[in-house]
Structure 1
């Protein structure tokens, strides 16, 4: 089940980010408006437009968030591996899981160390 969701998510994100999609949406909106004008825009027309638009945006938002979460997890894993294989201290591993004050303290400490070594 997870594999199918990931595959569908990847395909949907790839499709949604394609350069043809904005042009297609503009053409679709023009056709939608023309058909609405021919029917004098009944109230149900606006309700359907709002509902479909909201659902599509919500769905794409969830897919993009899922994709970003997976990419960030992979990036953090790669960075942790680089830290382990370098001379950097192991306290940098999983820094993203610490609170904001601890991260700022680590950044200040690192900034102080880099300015000392450069002089």
Structure 2
């Protein structure tokens, strides 16, 4: 049952996200608007579009959420595997289960490490420039 629902949710998500589906929806709305004068812009005429869009929106929320949950879990698993097999710190595996406070602390730690890396890089670049200019001065003096 679960695999059937997953297949259905994926197929519907692909179909509803296509340009053709958008065009069909635009045509339906235009046809509804054009039909307004023929129905005297009645409450029934308004109810048709309101009911239709509400039902579609209600159902699509669950299908989209299912697809996003699955995609997110797959992406997280891939990232965890890349972290596990690289020189990265294993502390990052499974961080999606941390509390907000723990995530903020980990993010701050990463920002500090990035600032240190940028400072080291800037220092190395300045040293290369200095040596490059010093090398050119030595050449000119010869």
Query: Which TM-score applies when normalising by structure 2?
Result: 0.75
Gaps spanning 5+ residues in structure 2: where?
Answer: 121-142
| 8 Å contact kept, 2:83–2:89 | yes
1:22 Cα offset (Å):
2.1
* Distance in 2 (alpha carbons) for counterparts of 1:29 and 1:116: 56
Q: Which residue of 1 aligns with 2:108?
A: 108
1:49 Cα offset (Å):
1.9
* Distance in 1 (alpha carbons) for counterparts of 2:103 and 2:89: 14
Q: Which residue of 2 aligns with 1:11?
A: 11
| 8 Å contact kept, 2:13–2:64 | yes
Gaps spanning 5+ residues in structure 1: where?
Answer: none
Residue 93 of structure 1 pairs with residue 93 of structure 2: yes
* Distance in 2 (alpha carbons) for counterparts of 1:32 and 1:48: 9
Q: Which residue of 2 aligns with 1:57?
A: 57
Moved more, 71-80 or 106-115: 106-115
| 8 Å contact kept, 2:80–2:93 | yes
* Distance in 2 (alpha carbons) for counterparts of 1:55 and 1:91: 44
Q: Which runs of 4+ in 1 moved over 6 A?
A: none
1:51 Cα offset (Å):
1.3
Q: 1:32 to 1:116 in 2, by over 3 A?
A: closer
* Distance in 2 (alpha carbons) for counterparts of 1:112 and 1:35: 62
> Size of the alignment, in residue pairs?
119
Larger Rg belongs to? 2
Aligned 1:8-47 pairs, distance under 5 A: 8-47=8-47
